[in-house]
Chains A and B, each alone.
Chain A
């Protein structure tokens, strides 16, 4: 809402010396938030004056242009009273016209200093200004020609042009529809300063009679009040007065024609949207009803619309002539030949307005006010004001008929205890302040001993609850008066175990050189294809969005890898030699348990209702994704670098397992997007956690990643569920260590983990640790075989082991490995 300050001042006597900034600040403190202050003349330094063109002599120039050598009467503004000689390139004026002159010493927007200078053989002492030069618009077709009565030569042109009239733009919250009018803004200004206020809607209006245009309202809920007035013999060519054009423009609307401008002006003034019909195009009585199935209407914007049975329509004998309260129809639109205007000022049901606007994607100044709730009691005043302005500026006769159908709905009253404002705000607000402030916002009060029953004013449909009244009382007291007090200390239990584990996971990965990223969780077939997922892959079953950002990515993602791989490729593309990225984020899987219920809000849903609600929500596990691409260790003076590979990826999962105290099992697997021979399924307790390993070469290629890039994706929720709750203190022995190294030869296909597990199991309790320290393939073990060298470390808790004991444990380990995996000890 843009409100010219001069217009505000028309209805409220602000104290002397109130600046626009001060006014804006006070109104912001009351809840009308300052967006911007426009100061049209801010960039101009005078003298800027009204001038009358006395003579103009066209002088053709060698460059083909014709300039006008003018003498202009600028009164005493030039200090001499003599006419000012000015060269002007425009031609849209004539001797006798009033123009705007900036004299030498003045400055135009863009810091353009004006001085007397020799040009085209004359001394041009100033400039005749165009609207664009003054920063008043883009009109550069010619200079500004003022109306004949605009002022006297020499008069300050700032006032004449409204350049001193500052405009405050407010952001109006949806609950304060009344502030979408000067009537409302001025009322708040009066409240801010305790200044006298004149309500522009308070005017004597002629009583309703039965000579008015016939109107039938079939749906009084949708249209509680319909007022119709008529003007005949109106001059369609009559111009809109300058002051009205200026105000409409200042308020951010476009002037169109007198009849349209007047309806807009009154809407801005009083807040009541008005519709004007070309009365000569109306046939038969006006009827307000809901649309019927299959009905259509071409609205003023030229769009042919299929109507819903919920839409309120205005009809006459010709059919539908308007979408009530939202937009008129083409057939009865006022035009350049309209001489007879039927003025409609109606109150419409806000919800209905909102739904119709939403359904037809129609936003209009009228709709904005109607859907938020306009004052239902000012329909007659608004219509009367329109009629007055139309006839004042466009001639014609006011038809004596006054149609008023229906009565404004009554505002329900609200009971509130006197101490509620204090209890809610923590400010020391007593009953007297409560009463004063409620009355100040226009409530009618019925004062009791312990509380008050308030009937809100008709322009405040937003006031429905006691807490709404508290806000009214509090904002006038001032939110700056709210004390700052900490609540009592809450007995919190700190972060949950899962929250702490998540931090640990992040720190562990960052500690391992991985950088966290956050990607948008949207996915489409292209990404699934690039990952090489088969058509029936479970990851392709997604939660789809009805209105995705892009039709290419219509789903909530089921995997973090696309985002990570793209981010990795982006980094490589930007010159990174290697990149290790991780992301923790939720993915979603559909549950197909039917729609989520919508319950009422007058009570808490029952536990079973809640369970039903929670059940309908898609599964959203927290995943961890990692991508390792290119250099994992840099080359340097220490030697060569090292490319990331499958082992790094699996190693990270193991590291997380160690950190969280989870036994992560690694088994070989084949799953896209991983390399079928270099992919591990990682498990916990036999349940799949996810996969890790080298990416499939095609996937690297598809995402533009270096060959052998590696990746991880696991269900982090699942991993954390298995995390050790309380870590027991380890029990270790200080007796001497006994070392035994064994080299075992197995088939190349045998998993090292199986051999190790067999050794571990065979070695028994004396085994302290086991570690593979060498892997050999080659001639010495033969084709299709490999040698695994393990370091076994034995220690007893209560004694020094004898050589015999150690050897026996080692032999038992080897024996079990031989039994389980066919391992043969290498000698």
Chain B
């Protein structure tokens, strides 16, 4: 910067001539307008507003003017610089928008590319199905009870009124541990959990017991030596078959949809009396037995699906398990979880459940 020079004729300071300032301003504005991207604009900014730009240099010369000339020159330069800065900002904004738009276009990817780097896991439908059932009952205030699969013979049979000569106790039906004199079996049903619950708790009792059970069945599309059952037990004052019906209707509707209820047929189970088999309104044809003019495949045209067994807990069972049979009554029910899943999910072959093929299991995800 030059020092003040009183001898200096302001008119002779070339950069401060008004035509010079206007020319610098116009050159800057033209360059700004001509800048086509942010990099160019950056250069324009340096060239026209930087320390070495004509307007900056001119500005520096103001101090060299006699005081009387400074004001006017300052105004002129200030206006010119203001115009340039304004134009720069405006151009910057425009170019930024353009830049962003361009970037967004340039960064476009093919979003249909596969993204399955880590394959999805899944939980077994028997697990999630058991949870679904448990949740339905927990929502009614029931609890989930469990017991061991290798079970005492007394709990699996005797306590449930399956006497020593009951046909189910033969080697043909039941897995026994070796030697059989140890009186241990692979539980043939989840009912010993009922017995355990009654033996270790006091009424009122409302429990469901999902679990794995064993029978020496052939292994085919509808039978398996290892399968899963859910058992329900309610012991309270004044419990009747009507409560059993109400509970199963609610269960059916929760599991299969509103309007799907149950019917009872007389049957026989040693641990219940009266006993009934439970049929479920076919949730596919909704009881019609026919679907699209052909017999319904799910219920084989019956309109009903056999679902399980149930009944009023035999007072002999209550007595053996320490429940006051004079004061309390109860109901119990049991159904196959695998079977229920088979018709609910349309699984054709029971063995698919136990083969461990990931294509089967992953189809069900982590919740049913």
Is B53 positioned at the interface, with any CB of A under 8 Å from its CB? no
Is B11 positioned at the interface, with any CB of A under 8 Å from its CB? no
Q: Is the CB of B124 within 8 A of A617?
A: no
Question: Are A176 and B268 CB-contacts (below 8 A) given A424-B241, A479-B276, A496-B144?
Answer: yes
Is A578 positioned at the interface, with any CB of B under 8 Å from its CB? yes
Question: Are A617 and B151 CB-contacts (below 8 A) given A479-B266, A492-B141?
Answer: yes
Inside 8 A of A566's CB, which chain B residues have their CB?
356
A558 to chain B, nearest CB (A): 12
Is B92 positioned at the interface, with any CB of A under 8 Å from its CB? no
Question: Which of A208-216, A273-281, A483-491 lies at the interface with chain B?
Answer: A483-491
Q: Mark A603-639, 1 if CB is under 8 A from B, else 0.
A: 1110000100110111010000000000011101110
Q: Is the CB of B274 within 8 A of A545?
A: no
Question: Are A616 and B225 CB-contacts (below 8 A) given A354-B167, A543-B177?
Answer: no
Q: Is the CB of A613 within 8 A of B155?
A: yes
Is B182 positioned at the interface, with any CB of A under 8 Å from its CB? yes
**How long is the Cα–Cα vector from A634 to B115 in the complex, in angstroms?**
10
Is A219 positioned at the interface, with any CB of B under 8 Å from its CB? no
A798 to chain B, nearest CB (A): 42
Q: Is the CB of A490 within 8 A of B204?
A: yes
Q: Mark A400-437, 1 if CB is under 8 A from B, else 0.
A: 00000000000000000000000111110000000000
Is A389 positioned at the interface, with any CB of B under 8 Å from its CB? no
Q: Is the CB of B122 within 8 A of A516?
A: yes
Q: Is the CB of B268 within 8 A of A175?
A: yes
A500 to chain B, nearest CB (A): 10
Could you tell me which residues of chain B, from 179 to 217, have a CB within 8 Å of some CB in chain A? 179-184, 186, 199-200, 204, 206, 212, 216
Q: Is the CB of A482 within 8 A of B171?
A: no
Inside 8 A of A40's CB, which chain B residues have their CB?
none
B177 CB contact (under 8 Å) in A423, A546, A580, A601: A546
Is A764 positioned at the interface, with any CB of B under 8 Å from its CB? no
Residue ID in chain B nearest A582 by CB atoms: B121
Q: Mark A566-577, 1 if CB is under 8 A from B, else 0.
A: 111011001010
- Which of B123, B200, B315 has the most C-beta atoms of chain A within 10 angstroms of its own C-beta? B123
Question: Which of A238-246, A450-458, A504-512, A720-728 lies at the interface with chain B?
Answer: A504-512
A177 to chain B, nearest CB (A): 11
Question: Are A358 and B356 CB-contacts (below 8 A) given A546-B177, A598-B183?
Answer: no
**How long is the Cα–Cα vector from A563 to B275 in the complex, in angstroms?**
38
Q: Is the CB of B170 within 8 A of A597?
A: no
Q: Is the CB of A490 within 8 A of B140?
A: yes
B interface secondary structure, majority = mixed
Is A499 positioned at the interface, with any CB of B under 8 Å from its CB? yes
Q: Is the CB of A604 within 8 A of B226?
A: no
Inside 8 A of B356's CB, which chain A residues have their CB?
517-519, 563-564, 566-568, 570-571, 581
Q: Is the CB of A484 within 8 A of B320?
A: no
Question: Are A543 and B150 CB-contacts (below 8 A) given A571-B357, A595-B182, A604-B199?
Answer: yes
Is B343 positioned at the interface, with any CB of A under 8 Å from its CB? no
**How long is the Cα–Cα vector from A636 to B275 in the complex, in angstroms?**
59
Q: Is the CB of A494 within 8 A of B138?
A: yes
Is B47 positioned at the interface, with any CB of A under 8 Å from its CB? no
Is A495 positioned at the interface, with any CB of B under 8 Å from its CB? yes
A102 to chain B, nearest CB (A): 29
Question: Are A482 and B312 CB-contacts (below 8 A) given A31-B266, A544-B177, A567-B355?
Answer: no
A31 CB contact (under 8 Å) in B114, B119, B181, B267: B267
Inside 8 A of A544's CB, which chain B residues have their CB?
177-178
Question: Are A485 and B362 CB-contacts (below 8 A) given A465-B316, A513-B119?
Answer: no
Question: Are A518 and B354 CB-contacts (below 8 A) given A31-B265, A490-B142, A556-B150?
Answer: yes
Is A745 positioned at the interface, with any CB of B under 8 Å from its CB? no
**How long is the Cα–Cα vector from A554 to B127 in the complex, in angstroms?**
26
Is A588 positioned at the interface, with any CB of B under 8 Å from its CB? yes
Question: Are A599 and B158 CB-contacts (below 8 A) given A499-B144, A507-B366?
Answer: yes
Is B61 positioned at the interface, with any CB of A under 8 Å from its CB? no
Inside 8 A of A603's CB, which chain B residues have their CB?
319-320, 322
**Interface bracket on A:** 35 or more
Inside 8 A of B179's CB, which chain A residues have their CB?
546
Inside 8 A of B245's CB, which chain A residues have their CB?
426, 482-485
Is B113 positioned at the interface, with any CB of A under 8 Å from its CB? yes
B119 to chain A, nearest CB (A): 6
Inside 8 A of B76's CB, which chain A residues have their CB?
none
Inside 8 A of B127's CB, which chain A residues have their CB?
506, 516, 518
**How long is the Cα–Cα vector from A470 to B124 in the complex, in angstroms?**
42
Inside 8 A of B354's CB, which chain A residues have their CB?
518-520
**How long is the Cα–Cα vector from A293 to B117 in the complex, in angstroms?**
73
Could you tell me which residues of chain A, from 187 to 219, have a CB within 8 Å of some CB in chain B? none
**How long is the Cα–Cα vector from A474 to B274 in the complex, in angstroms?**
8
**How long is the Cα–Cα vector from A427 to B142 in the complex, in angstroms?**
25
Q: Is the CB of B243 within 8 A of A426?
A: yes
Inside 8 A of A516's CB, which chain B residues have their CB?
121-124, 127, 361
Is A538 positioned at the interface, with any CB of B under 8 Å from its CB? no
Is B78 positioned at the interface, with any CB of A under 8 Å from its CB? no
Inside 8 A of A494's CB, which chain B residues have their CB?
138, 143
Is B175 positioned at the interface, with any CB of A under 8 Å from its CB? yes
Is B240 positioned at the interface, with any CB of A under 8 Å from its CB? yes
Could you tell me which residues of chain B, from 227 to 243, have a CB within 8 Å of some CB in chain A? 234, 236, 238-243
**How long is the Cα–Cα vector from A173 to B272 in the complex, in angstroms?**
13
Inside 8 A of A509's CB, which chain B residues have their CB?
121
B267 to chain A, nearest CB (A): 6
Q: Is the CB of B246 within 8 A of A578?
A: no
Inside 8 A of B315's CB, which chain A residues have their CB?
465, 467
B195 to chain A, nearest CB (A): 10
Is A515 positioned at the interface, with any CB of B under 8 Å from its CB? yes
**How long is the Cα–Cα vector from A483 to B276 in the complex, in angstroms?**
14
Q: Is the CB of B144 within 8 A of A495?
A: yes
Question: Are A29 and B265 CB-contacts (below 8 A) given A467-B312, A520-B225?
Answer: yes
**How long is the Cα–Cα vector from A358 to B167 in the complex, in angstroms?**
9
Question: Are A512 and B276 CB-contacts (below 8 A) given A546-B178, A598-B153, A616-B184?
Answer: no
Inside 8 A of B242's CB, which chain A residues have their CB?
425-427, 482-485
Is B111 positioned at the interface, with any CB of A under 8 Å from its CB? no
Q: Is the CB of A515 within 8 A of B243?
A: no
Inside 8 A of A358's CB, which chain B residues have their CB?
170
Residue ID in chain B nearest A506 by CB atoms: B123
Is B120 positioned at the interface, with any CB of A under 8 Å from its CB? yes
Inside 8 A of A513's CB, which chain B residues have their CB?
118-121
Q: Is the CB of B183 within 8 A of A597?
A: yes
Could you tell me which residues of chain A, from 515 to 549, have a CB within 8 Å of some CB in chain B? 515-521, 543-549
**How long is the Cα–Cα vector from A289 to B51 in the complex, in angstroms?**
130
B159 CB contact (under 8 Å) in A31, A491, A601, A618: A601
Residue ID in chain A nearest B161 by CB atoms: A601
Residue ID in chain B nearest A422 by CB atoms: B240
Is A351 positioned at the interface, with any CB of B under 8 Å from its CB? yes
**How long is the Cα–Cα vector from A585 to B127 in the complex, in angstroms?**
11
9 new A-B contacts, CB < 8 A, other than A470-B274, A549-B216, are A33-B277, A487-B206, A487-B236, A509-B121, A546-B171, A567-B355, A574-B357, A579-B358, A620-B148
20 contacts between A and B (CB under 8 A): A465-B315, A467-B314, A471-B273, A484-B246, A484-B249, A485-B240, A487-B246, A490-B204, A492-B143, A492-B206, A506-B127, A510-B121, A521-B149, A546-B171, A567-B355, A568-B356, A571-B357, A614-B152, A618-B148, A634-B117
